[in-house]
Structure 1
């Protein structure tokens, strides 16, 4: 009971390795067996629960949802513009591709269409296109057929504590992490979606498919974390242990938070960490640090948005978000933003 209580309260101090479930073991087996390199990125199969998966044809229901989306886009010019820009960028980056006409028809049960919609992000004041992998048809969905996989992410508490260990702290972000992990070609038809050519709503709908793991698929977080850890494992002979350990222990999904003892150590680590991530097709960007010398060693385009046009010799360093917390970079402290609405002191409001 005492050990259980310590594990609960101090899970970074007293740990006992938990065995993987049968489903998690199957997920890891699929990942390890299917992992290959394609154009500098890891390529992994979709981790289906069943080996010979067959899906019903949900084309009609997804087309119906697209018609509903079309009405919204026709009534909102700004939404249409942002939606089109997102799709254009995804296609131009190779994250999605138009399906060649000769491949439109495939083996029965070996394709699935995913509806999509826009979600407005109030803090960033931008939209994100969400692919609804949980959308059901005839009692099933893509997410119901996929293994979620084990949680390969370091604990939030552990990452934050290690971030506060040493005086020189820095933070980075992997650009579009999920989209840097490719899907095996034989599984891409399970990631089909409908869209208009060049976003022109007056033209006929055409079929596209994702070439990468989707933000919205239940398996994607574990697939991306597996690829990131495999990057460290596959390149450990060419990089220092501390660089590989940072990749394994100081990332919370796509956010890197690390602290070191000296400026020179920080400059070297940022350089090596970026090089290591590139080996797996991951690009580290949006760098922030409480050390101005380190920031000056990082190119302007690789710094966080609020630091790009900053005069590092005289301007104050901004407040940045660090895993949901307000990090005042100038004073190197965590702050809390309190917004108490002015309301009458009734019992209901209290």
Structure 2
């Protein structure tokens, strides 16, 4: 039973009758602050105490962005990718210029976030992330935020349930964290410095994120709360299978589900897309081991490998499923190993083995 609870940790959570005081406070903040704005859920930042007061750390963030400017001067391609990423935030409304009349907020009511670029190890695409753990005068944003209860289903459980039935479905939520808005009273704790249009010869401008962000310790729980809230608020409008899928078949932003028949799958896809959209969540990158199901999904909503297929005769592609390689054509899982050369010593052998299998 202990091994079962370890592999399927959501069952362990169901058996717990008492949450910690911090988790109770997190849930209370979510329930008290939740509202809808333009079709998206809006939540407070879950601070660990009321009337939070933060030191003004702008000087530290100014130093960090000057370091970024020097990096831009050395690498033009990096600057272009970085600027495009931040511009996309602004264009989509995830970030905004701080209004002139709010540039001087009340004492303790502002926090600036340093940011930097991180490349995906395989795709080599750039993502700009905030350093919410950056400390100033003994505190940081993450130090003041509640992490919240673990609302994520176990990876092992989601993968196991994925292949219970004949017809498999996979999808994910586009920019999940950014679909959950931050309440107006807390957006000034998510300020950052940037140059308009990425022009480093211009003066720095103060921006602020209007959504929950990568790097904040609270964001996974906030996003999961909003997704589950979507299902709870519409439980009487959609069938039980769609509601249960939201609760049991998502691992953060990835959904893996299986059903018995193609007709059932086509119906579930339509219901899930509509249900999640009521909470502002857009389901994209759909794939399946059924050609009939794929044909029922608009091309722009399918995964990139399946968009280019001639489904009448081409073999279905190999897709990533929570870190594993899943062949939709053969319905088999496999591992892709990229082993680094290690010295032929006990330490080297142990290092290589541990990179493949983590007990």
TM-score interval, smaller chain = over 0.9
**CA offsets per residue over residues 294-337 of structure 1, 9 Å max, x none?**
11111111111111111111111111110111111111110112
2:35 is aligned to 36
1:262 is aligned to 261
How has the CA–CA distance of structure 1 residues 241 and 72 changed in structure 2, closer, same or farther, with 3 Å as cutoff? same
**CA offsets per residue over residues 106-155 of structure 1, 9 Å max, x none?**
10000000000001112111111010001000000000000000001111
* Cα distance in 2, alignment partners of residues 193 and 235 from structure 1: 36
1:206 is aligned to 205
* Cα distance in 2, alignment partners of residues 15 and 115 from structure 1: 35
Where do residues 96-111 of structure 1 align in structure 2 (5 Å cutoff)?
Answer: 96-111=95-110
| Offset, 1:339 | 3.9
| TM value normalised by structure 2 | 0.93
Give the gaps of 5 or more residues in structure 1: none
* Cα distance in 2, alignment partners of residues 349 and 136 from structure 1: 36
Alignment partner of 1:51: what SS?
coil
2:5 is aligned to 7
Q: 1:183 aligned to 2:185?
A: no
1:276 is aligned to 275
Alignment partner of 2:49: what SS?
coil
Alignment partner of 1:152: what SS?
coil
| Offset, 1:181 | 0.2
1:63 is aligned to 62
| TM value normalised by structure 1 | 0.96
* Cα distance in 1, alignment partners of residues 71 and 3 from structure 2: 52
* Cα distance in 2, alignment partners of residues 167 and 236 from structure 1: 26
Alignment partner of 2:153: what SS?
coil
Alignment partner of 2:83: what SS?
helix
How has the CA–CA distance of structure 1 residues 9 and 168 changed in structure 2, closer, same or farther, with 3 Å as cutoff? closer
| Offset, 1:9 | 6.0
| Contact persistence 1:152–1:222 (CA under 8 A) | yes
Between the two proteins, the alignment pairs up a number of residues equal to 348
* Cα distance in 2, alignment partners of residues 238 and 346 from structure 1: 61
How has the CA–CA distance of structure 1 residues 148 and 15 changed in structure 2, closer, same or farther, with 3 Å as cutoff? closer
2:21 is aligned to 22
